[in-house]
A and B are shown apart, each in its own frame.
Chain A
Amino acid sequence: MIPLSYYVILSGIVFLTGVVGVLLRRNIIIILLSVELMLNATNINFVAFSQYLHDVAGQVFVFFALTVAAAEVAVGLAIIIALYRAKAAINIDEFQLLKW
């Protein structure tokens, strides 16, 4: 059986990739994709621990995380479309509307 630490390390790597992606990229869609990456890293952790502790609750929480991810994608993409209609751009450098 694969040790639990491998799963934790893999999920850490995936989460790190997501963080770097959020900080590094300019494209809003890629930033949302990186957020999906981070959510998946947490899901790997949930499932690995639920398997090793023999508790099915972790998988239920993955289910809820999936729901939240779907909702986040729907709202985020709608916001992107609205922004694109307003500014005809998707680089986050263009959006400084909230600056004061």
Chain B
Amino acid sequence: MLVVAVRNPIYSALALLVMFFHVAGLYVTLHAEFLAAVQIIVYAGAILVLYLFVVMLLNMRQDDRYHRQWPMAAVVGGALAIEAVILTAMKGWTTPVVAAGTETTVGGISNTAAIGDVLYSTYLFPFEVASLILLVAMIGAIILAKKDLGEREA
């Protein structure tokens, strides 16, 4: 993919945006329409804008070449690729046992309703923990990005 190959970080972020839209399209083909919408809103809308904002804030020049540990990267990447090929060759192209049933629509309700049902009943506690994670991340980001906090307190 282009994200890794392009030198200018802005082009790289835009390539990632294209990739996010492709993933959202994949979700639609997998009958996960709610997740596709969330993917576009959260990733393309929020995260990418944050990235572009920081890229332009830091005002980088054209970045220099790749890291000089590229032999190690090539070794690790090659090993992972070979492992993946071997695994797929070993397992063959066995199609998994598809459970009988309708699409993702559980009991005739839509995808979004099904997700909401499970999210707020079975996964209620992880949901609360996720909100706590977001709160901590927000506070941490503010404190980290705040100017000369350390000098005043030290």
* A, B in one complex: yes
Does the CB pair B42–A33 fall under 8 Å? no
Interface of B is mostly: helix
Which of A9, A26, A37, A72 lies in contact with B67, CB distance below 8 A?
Answer: A26
- How many residues in A have their beta carbons less than 8 Å from beta carbons of B? 65
A residues near B104, Cβ cutoff 8 Å: 50-51, 54, 56, 59
A53, CB-defined interface residue at 8 Å: yes
Which of B3, B13, B54, B115 lies in contact with A56, CB distance below 8 A?
Answer: B115
- How many residues in B have their beta carbons less than 8 Å from beta carbons of A? 77
Does the CB pair A85–B144 fall under 8 Å? no
Does the CB pair A36–B95 fall under 8 Å? no
Given contacts A26-B66, A59-B115, contact A77 B54 (CB under 8 A): yes
- Nearest-Cβ distance from residue B13 to partner chain A, whole angstroms: 6
Cα(A80)–Cα(B93), bound, Å = 44
- Nearest-Cβ distance from residue B63 to partner chain A, whole angstroms: 5
